[in-house]
Amino acid sequence: MSSPSQPSDPWNRNGVPIRRRDDGFINVSDLWKAEGQLPPLRPDKWAKRDQNQHLLDAATQEFEKPVWLVVRGGNALQGTFASPDIALKYAEDLSLDCYEWLSGLLGSEAKNTGKARERTIPLGSIFLWVFQLPSGRYRLSQTQVAEAIGKPESSFREFLASKSPEALPYKGFHSGKLSVEGRNMPINPIPVTLAIAYWTKESLAGNLSAIRLLASSANEAIERRADAAFGVRRSEEEYNHRFKNVFEKLADFFPDSASITKVTDPYSGAGSMILAEQKLLRRLKRKFPQEMFAFKKSEFVRDLVLLGAETDDWHLTYERGLAYPDGAANRNAYPDLISQPSECLVDGKKQKVVLLFQCVDTIVDENHVKDCFYLRQYIDLVKEHLKVDHALLFLVSPYGVTRYAAACIKESDELRGCVGVITLKQLATFLFEKAAENKRDNIRLGKLKAKFIHLMSYRLLDELLSEEELSKFSVETEGVQLTQLDLF
């Protein structure tokens, strides 16, 4: 008589035991072995992909602890371990069958514990944490809902307390504390419908990111229904790629529409002001053709890098590696130059600051201000990645900024405090003075000045916003005035 068979281990995958730590972390090395050990999907190679690095960085910051651990030596379990949500993402890349197997195991455990499950979903280059309640309903992080459209978490709370028509259905809403698998502290999530209401209100207020996010999401929802109707099968990676393409293409349609109205129409009569300034620029280009086109952007960007190299701590580089993990399709997605982190005086306190520089051939106008919206995500990314107190963007041009463009920056909640304007002469003079601190030899200093005198001695055109007017907006940087519009 045969003995009854023992129940099989649910955490055995294709004959390979999938080990777990006491904190719930899953051995992804075991998953890789169970799925055939394909070299491109080896855990260390998978983690080095740009998109996955961005995902791991975001998750580590959210949890305030590592979510991807490589354990070697000692008495502990060996291999590469990942938090459940990251392990699920890795399993999805291994195979659809592996993803469904792991998702089923984690789901059954969550139901047994009565806690919510947590996963990461990509919306193009935006990553959101999604929580599934034991009932099957979904919730989102209110902090990430706000940050997805370039807003602080306080913006969401203000919306909830406002009299906005979109907020009225949620008056008195309280999410309550929610326990989540893998988290020590409970969270306060919000329903998906509330997140959509908040994004809708921001869209109506002219938030470009919110408009693009909602439009891309609606497009994908309809495409998924259409694909189901016609029997078209696509992977999640393909859907996300299509989402990202739509999100980026929408940027070409909205800059001149209501999404920028709030910024480019700060007061009545803006249209006539734009026409007047465009007429002025055309006249100046006819009157001063040599002066207006004396500087080629590629040449003075190169010279600024060379001049910065003569200083101790104000080196400028063409660094663009932080911008968008998969590379940015839009040419305005990152600035021309970035400084190394430096100590600056902000509100009388020394803080670590990184300066970004976007260079313009002649003068900053309202079109360059619109371009700043594409740079806004990069500013936040630099601040987060380099662990600095402030990341500030300067628009650099030989002839400063039109009065209307200056007003646009000052009136914009999204740009004020992190975007300013500086003339080429001011930036070059600042760098030269920093370099001069190292050149004790007058002959060497004279040669340096002769090499870069063209950046510091050209004539500003009187009919534009003058250097004196620009100097009203300044930030003290170790005793040197750098022009900055309405900083802090």
On whether residue 466 sits in a domain, the answer given is: yes
Instruction: Determine whether 255 is exposed, middle or buried from the number of CB atoms within 10 Å of its CB (0-12, 13-18, 19+).
Output: middle
| Residue 462: predicted pLDDT | 61
Statement to judge: residues 117 and 17 lie in one domain: yes
- 90 and 229 belong to one structural domain: yes
Closest CA to 195 of 227, 151, 238: 151
**Tokens matching residue 121:** 């979903």
Note whether 135 and 276 are same-domain residues: no
4 belongs to a structural domain: no
DSSP 186: -
- Number of domains forming the structure of the chain: 2
How far apart are the C-alpha atoms of 5 and 430, rounded to whole Å?
80
Is residue 339 in a domain? yes
Q: Which is it for the CA torsion 120, 236, 153, 319, positive or negative?
A: positive
Q: Mark whether 314 and 280 lie in a shared domain.
A: yes
Domain check: are 37 and 107 in the same one? yes
269 & 362 share domain? yes
Given 232, 252, 272, the domain boundary residue is 252
Look at residue 29 in the predicted model and tell me its pLDDT. Answer: 93
What's the CA gap between 101 and 96, in Å, rounded?
9
The answer to whether 98 touches 35, Cβ cutoff 8 Å, is yes
Q: Is residue 455 part of a domain?
A: yes
Are 161 and 264 members of one domain? no
Per run of 10 residues, the mean pLDDT along the chain (length 488 residues) is 50 90 88 90 89 78 78 78 86 82 72 72 86 79 87 86 82 72 77 91 83 92 94 89 88 49 42 62 70 78 88 76 41 70 72 85 77 69 80 84 76 74 86 80 81 84 53 35 34
Looking at 212, 237, 252, which one is the last position of a domain?
252
In a shared domain, residues 101 and 185: yes
Q: Which residue has the tokens 């003339």?
A: 423
Judge if 35 and 114 occupy the same domain. yes
Query: CB-based contacts of 444: which residues, under 8 Å, 6+ apart?
Result: none
Alpha-helical (H) ranges within 118-235 are 142-147, 153-161, 192-204, 208-230
What's the Cα-to-Cα distance from 4 to each of 8, 333, 440, rounded to whole Å? 12, 64, 90
Q: Which of 252, 278, 306 is the last residue of a domain?
A: 252
Q: What is the SS3 assignment for 420?
A: strand
The verdict on residue 121 lying in a domain is: yes
Cβ atoms of 91 and 18 closer than 8 Å: no
* Dist CA 123 CA 406 (whole Å): 33
The kind and range of the H/E element at 79 are: strand 79-82
Burial of 78 (0-12, 13-18, 19+ CB in 10 A): middle
Assigned domain for 5 exists: no
The model's pTM is 0.44
Do 78 and 191 fall into the same domain? Answer: yes
Q: Which residues contact 475 (CB under 8 A, 6 or more apart)?
A: 344, 346, 420, 481, 482, 484, 487, 488
Question: 403: which 2 tokens?
Answer: 């009065």
Look up the CATH number of the domain holding residue 401: 3.40.1350.10
Q: Flag whether 211 is in a domain.
A: yes
Beta carbons of 59 and 83 less than 8 angstroms apart: yes
Residue 206 and residue 340 share a domain: no
Same structural domain, 292 and 394: yes
Enclosing domain of residue 211: 12-252
Asked if residue 1 is part of any domain, the answer here is no
